[in-house]
Chain A
Amino acid sequence: MLMAFDTEPETDDDVLIRRFAAGDQNAARALTVRLSPGVLALARRMLRNEAEAEDVAQEAMLRLWKMAKDWEPGRAKVSTWLYRVTQNLCTDRLRRKTTSNMDDVPEPVDESPGAADQMQTKSRAEALTTAMADLPERQRTALHLRHFEDLSNIEIADIMDISVEAVESLTGRAKRGLADKLLKHKDRLGFTS
């Protein structure tokens, strides 16, 4: 493993950004370990394609490096800014894909089994991932940021540029959608509690 742990867990992102801007590569390493997993996870969730997710996450991190010298501490959280950039990059990519594919490319035939059928053979986590992939993009993003990145509704609202109430609505709908798809099969999921 190249680097498994955040070597400076006590150091604020703001401080690390300033150190990176001054030429400190250890700060870059700490920020990479700390921030890139969440960025990549969000991109994976939105794009559902590993190679594209890595491209977007790398681009988001590159933008972080480039803006480091102009970063104003206290104006925003670095992680919030980064998630927002990632979300926008993903949205752009999804939009381009939709536009370019809509007219001339036939819908691919999805021969994979649906979420319910997969439950017997795949793990619960995989079933959840499949069910989440079927959610509308904004619901999926909001739910991911809330439950996988542990962000507050206020932070999510900032990232998605919507109201806190809209975040609550999106996550509520997302959870209802997941529950409807998954929990009626909880015996098949092996979920007993």
Chain B
Amino acid sequence: MTKPDPLTPEEEIALRALLDEARSQEAAPSDAFLARVLEDAAQVAADNAVVRDTPTEAGALGLLDRLGRMFRGFGGLPGASVMTASVLFGLAFGYTGPDSLFELTGFSDAAGVVSELDTEMDVFDTASFDFGGGDLLQ
């Protein structure tokens, strides 16, 4: 590939002047465009906030394990299981979205969650217990 002839100083000055002039006349972004960019930023910030404020998976599983052991430890809740604890944990800590709840419980659809809740709530209706400092569901 042959090298282009370099510009003469006069050409360089003239071209630079044209470039500078064109640069000074570039249109600024429209308000509508800037608003769309900021809307995107706000949406991403909101999404990030959800992730930031949500317990991590490891933390959630740790809590579930503790809840499951606690329920079993009461002895008065024969049907209570880690699965029940998972559902309760989901409700209590705001995992109300189906995807999150399924992820926590292992159920693949809402019917499974509802069925498990119905069964286990019967147990809770007849049980009386104190978690030592407050009701988990409040």
Contacts and interface: CB of A to CB of B under 8 A. Distances in A.
Given A21-B48, A41-B26, A3 B41 contact: no
B130 interface: no
Interface of A, secondary structure class, is: helix
Given A172-B3, A183-B14, A32 B34 contact: yes
Contacts of A173: 4
B19 interface: yes
Interface of B, secondary structure class, is: helix
B33 A58 contact: yes
B18 A32 contact: no
Contacts of A37: 28-29
A172 B4 contact: yes
Interface residues of B, number: 38
Contacts of A154: none
Nearest to B52: A23
Contacts, number: 113
A125 B23 CA distance: 8
A28 B42 CA distance: 8
B111 to A, nearest CB: 35
B17 A25 contact: no
Interface string A131-174: 00000000000000001100000000000000000000100110
Given A36-B29, A125-B18, A182-B15, A25 B37 contact: no
A183 B29 contact: no
Q: In the complex, which of the residues B14, B22, B42, B52 has the most CB atoms of chain A within 10 Å of its own CB atom?
A: B22
Nearest to B31: A2
Nearest to B51: A69
A124 B19 contact: no
A1 B28 CA distance: 11
B127 interface: no
Interface string B30-48: 1101111110111011001
A68 B41 CA distance: 10
Given A124-B18, A176-B4, A32 B11 contact: no
Nearest to B18: A128
A36 B19 contact: no
A85 interface: no
B114 interface: no
B33 A36 contact: yes
B37 A61 contact: yes
Interface in B49-85: 49, 52
Interface of A: 1-3, 20-21, 23, 25, 28-29, 32-33, 36-37, 40-41, 54, 57-58, 61-62, 65-66, 68-69, 123-125, 127-129, 147-148, 169, 172-173, 175-179, 182-183, 186, 189, 191, 193
